[in-house]
Structure 1
Amino acid sequence: MVEGQGIGSWLRLRAVRSAGRVALVFNGAELTYDALADRVDGIAAGLRARGVERGDRVAYLGDNHPSFVEAMFATARLGAVFVPLNTRLAAPELAFMLADCGAGALISTPALAGRADEAAAGSAQPLVRVRVGADGEDGAGDGFEELLDAPPLTDLPAVGLDDPALIVYTSGTTGRPKGAVLTHGNLTWNALNVLVDYDVTSADRALMVSPLFHVASLGMGCLPVLLKGATLLLQERFAAPDALAAIERLRATSISGVPTTFQLMADDPSWSTTDLSSLRLMTCGGSPVPDRVREAYEARGLRFSGGYGMTEASPGITLLPPQHTAAHPRSAGLAHFFTRVRIRDTATGQLAANGAAGEVEALGPNVFQGYWGDPAASADARTADGWLRTGDVGVLDADGFLVIADRLKDMIISGGENVYPAEVENALMGLPGVTGAAVIGLPHERWGEVPHAVVTLAPGASLDAATVVERLSASLARYKVPRTLEVVAELPRTASGKVPKRLLRQRRTAAAGDS
């Protein structure tokens, strides 16, 4: 069979070049590239035997598992479209996504099978159900391994770089989530950006603790590693002691996550005794690494490589190499090698000068073409000359380093002054005992809005509003300092580790209504 250009061709091509090399490690079991390629071809044959054809959508609900990788590449092999689903969502939310993309098949792992069945029952169209770890004898669907019993494929569709490969649903901060369509070319160019900018080698052993359904783990970790012929060390889900043990036991060379990931590892009792000498690359996204966390890793001889991205860019837009973190501690870094970034003044609509704040815009072959079934939203996502409108406020310096101020929709306007919550949150994280912080705007009769802080504290720590005002007034303008404080046991977080400010605002509105 002649190989196409899509990501579905990668493993068969890699199997020849890397036969015998370990591609995946999961729960102590190893899978080589040639064995993985054979399984992917078999699963593709099984999906086709159950009616999956080019262009059909195949959804997957489950934690990190080899079946995720196998199902994704098998779907791509057929020219179908893979739809990874967020395991944190409720069944009605999942049912909406299944209906929205018109999924024809749904694969699920054992722990999520019940929720998958409930979501499938709420979907508008019949679904082929496939269960990982099941034998299909209960009549609820085929077992994943049964897919391998189908006759081998004798032909494959020609898949090009412009064909859709994934539909990844955004977090839906306003209204219903939208399905970002990422092409084979988007994913390939994003992977090339990673290979160039992060110096991934075939000898790397990448520990994957963040969920693969999140585009950061998939696009910045899984796909580049497999393209290069390196090894994925899959962890079903993140737990700090397990991650530390895996780094030492499996000699991981890289790990990626959000600031919370690394904070929990540094706070774990086994932190000081774990051998981290194998690590050469730590990538962190979502928000800047708090100073105390960065310092904890630097004390162990480790530096972070930061970055900035979004689903619609597959997701990489910028990276901050480790050698620049000291000079640019708050920066999201430079535009990826094959990607470009610019800033547009939101008031004038003109391109902003270096050092001026405005909306971040991105252009490159990794940037998506639009949202599934939503041409209006697709058009709104791009400028007239084709650049992606990120919805984030940022500043570029003369050397091209980007600093993200905040989301446009999260920006607080107090007395006519712009307050970027991320700046205030970083200051709050510098206070003793603060383990998490989020800042939202509350309505104010005189100032329009004023900042309100929501924080989590370490056991035994205490904090009050007066202390916040006293400590932060030394480093922030008065209008930026929160006058009100709320201490909570836990901040809500998305799968990518971000705090959805919309939920915090809704809680405050509900609380005000009850009082």
Structure 2
Amino acid sequence: MTEHEGVGAWIPRRAAMTPGRTAVVFGERSLTYAELADRVARLADRLRAAGVKPGSRVAYLGTNHPSFVEAMFAAHRLGAIFVPLNFRLAAPEIAYVLGDSEPEVLIYGPGSRDVVRALDDLPGAVVAVEEPDDGQLDYETWLHEGENDPVTADAAVRGEDIALILYTSGTTGRPKGAMLSHANLVWNTYNLLVGVDITSQERTLISSPLFHVAALNQCLLPTLLKGGCAVILPGWDVDLAYDLIERERITMLFGVTTMFAGLAGSPRWASADLSSVRTVMTGGSTVPESLIRTFQDRGLVFCQGYGMTETAPGATFLEGNESARKVGSAGVPTMFTSVRVVRGDGGGAAPGEPGEVLVKGPNVSPGYWRDAEATAASRTDDGWFRSGDVAKLDDEGHLYVVDRVKDMFISGGENVYPAEVENAIFAHPSVLEVAVIGVPDPTWGEVGCAYVVCGSGERPTLDALREFLASRLAKYKIPRELHVVDGLPKTGSGKVQKARLRSSR
């Protein structure tokens, strides 16, 4: 990439090519590429007036909404870094991320007003998409204050310049900001376009949260680059998804186990008109083979991939022509990415032998925001990214994820790191020790199970513990099982043996 080739240029260039084509649908509202480009240019002017410049951060908090799309591209037109925040986090968690990223502007959308009100330190400019508090800016009014000076030229951007900071829950209990450069986004899009036959007529249903790397980089960006239409839902709703698939003639959708199980379990499954759908994609957590076959039996092409935030996210992908033969596989390395599975000694694992997944390529994050130690720990000596996941390859080179080196588990498509949950539980006055593991759940894939050792005080019930954690953690992180035990199994060095907790179930 050379200068002026950042992601911010995509919308005005696409608008020049296909100005009248619909870019975004949200409820009854739609925007053409020309309209989207105009709104992005005006918002970029407002951000510039608020002090945003190359390298500044612009944060967005809220459910899926066209303003998310506008804010991201407006930030990128200025060479700024976009920081999408997980709207499911509690106020203390949001406060930490804002303190770490230090944005010049916070735009918050529907459903996030109470969290913003609970924050003590806010950026200099706070913009509300709906119902601003006193002293805050109203998004639509603010957008048009710069009627005469929309941004018409993009800031010079190099491929290595940072485009996004996506916060993932840290294994030490604090979120880490994975940085993704403009080049990371471009090369990931290339990988996706090679693996999936996305066309200019694509109509993509975006129902997973856009703060997630999959919805953002696997769905929104490739669709808009090709000049397709992004049909955005504020959140997942089975009946609304069916309505939109039929009304908007959806061609592509991405989801996780919970979402697909909801579709297949609906009374509408057998009779719904799914004839427009060409591609169903998933990633992030393994979907049960029986559920995949349910979709295949319905005549749908079901493609899986493997990756993570730090790989932007596509590391491997199972193309549609292999989706039936290799059910359960996450596919082979994407076109411009290299993937290895290695033993503990660093040597390549043989087919069928479990090992850690290593990734290298132009889609791999340069590191973590302001965290050199975590960045160094995530790389091997020869520069491969360490996923922390255990997988095996079959004799044809297809990847099958089998376990995690780290204790992270995935609940409803959300990464949950036990150390963070344990830190919150440990604050309970009755708790002396705690260990959290992920356990299978038919609805969410996995849920948290807490083992606690209590002192002489009153032992918490599950309901009491969940109530205690409600203001400290996002809802999906709060354990759904609780076991009060006399002690935790430990190694000689005092480390809790979580494998024994899992095997004892």
In the aligned structure 1, how far is the partner of 2:485 from the partner of 2:14? 56
1:51-450 equivalent positions in 2, closer than 5 A: 51-119=51-119, 121-122=120-121, 126-134=123-131, 138-150=134-146, 151-153=149-151, 156-346=154-344, 348-410=345-407
Shift of 1:161: 1.1
Aligned to 1:9: 9
SS at match of 2:144: helix
SS at match of 1:282: strand
Please tell me whether the aligned partners of residues 345 and 358 of structure 1 are also in contact (alpha carbons under 8 angstroms). yes
Pair 1:457–1:70, CA change in 2 (3 A): closer
Shift of 1:328: 1.7
2:134 aligned partner, one-letter code: D
Shift of 1:175: 1.6
Aligned to 1:479: none
SS at match of 1:271: coil
Please tell me whether the aligned partners of residues 92 and 122 of structure 1 are also in contact (alpha carbons under 8 angstroms). no
2:137 aligned partner, one-letter code: G
Q: CA RMSD in A?
A: 3.0
In the aligned structure 2, how far is the partner of 1:325 from the partner of 1:31? 34
Shift of 1:103: 1.5
Q: Using CA pairs below 8 Å that are at least 6 residues apart, which structure has the higher relative contact order? A: 2
Pair 1:453–1:188, CA change in 2 (3 A): closer
Pair 1:293–1:148, CA change in 2 (3 A): same
Pair 1:361–1:122, CA change in 2 (3 A): same
2:279 aligned partner, one-letter code: L
1:147 aligned partner, one-letter code: L
Shift of 1:507: 5.5
Please tell me whether the aligned partners of residues 359 and 390 of structure 1 are also in contact (alpha carbons under 8 angstroms). yes
In the aligned structure 1, how far is the partner of 2:485 from the partner of 2:44? 51
1:139 aligned partner, one-letter code: G
SS at match of 1:248: helix
Pair 1:116–1:327, CA change in 2 (3 A): same
1:456-495 equivalent positions in 2, closer than 5 A: 456=442
SS at match of 2:326: coil
Aligned to 1:462: none
Q: Which moved more, 1:402-411 or 1:96-105?
A: 402-411
Consecutive unaligned residues in structure 1, runs of 5 or more: 412-420, 426-437, 441-448, 459-485, 493-497
In the aligned structure 1, how far is the partner of 2:348 from the partner of 2:41? 49
TM-score, normalised to structure 1, is 0.79
TM-score, normalised to structure 2, is 0.81
Shift of 1:349: 2.6
Shift of 1:3: 8.2
1:170-227 CA distance string (max 9 Å, x none): 1334421100010000001101111111111101100111110111100100011111
Please tell me whether the aligned partners of residues 332 and 403 of structure 1 are also in contact (alpha carbons under 8 angstroms). yes
In the aligned structure 1, how far is the partner of 2:328 from the partner of 2:486? 35
In the aligned structure 1, how far is the partner of 2:443 from the partner of 2:253? 26
Shift of 1:350: 2.2
Shift of 1:295: 2.8
* Count of aligned positions: 437
Instruction: State yes or no: 1:24 paired with 2:21.
Output: no
Shift of 1:511: 5.9
Please tell me whether the aligned partners of residues 3 and 9 of structure 1 are also in contact (alpha carbons under 8 angstroms). no
SS at match of 2:376: helix
Q: Percent identity?
A: 46
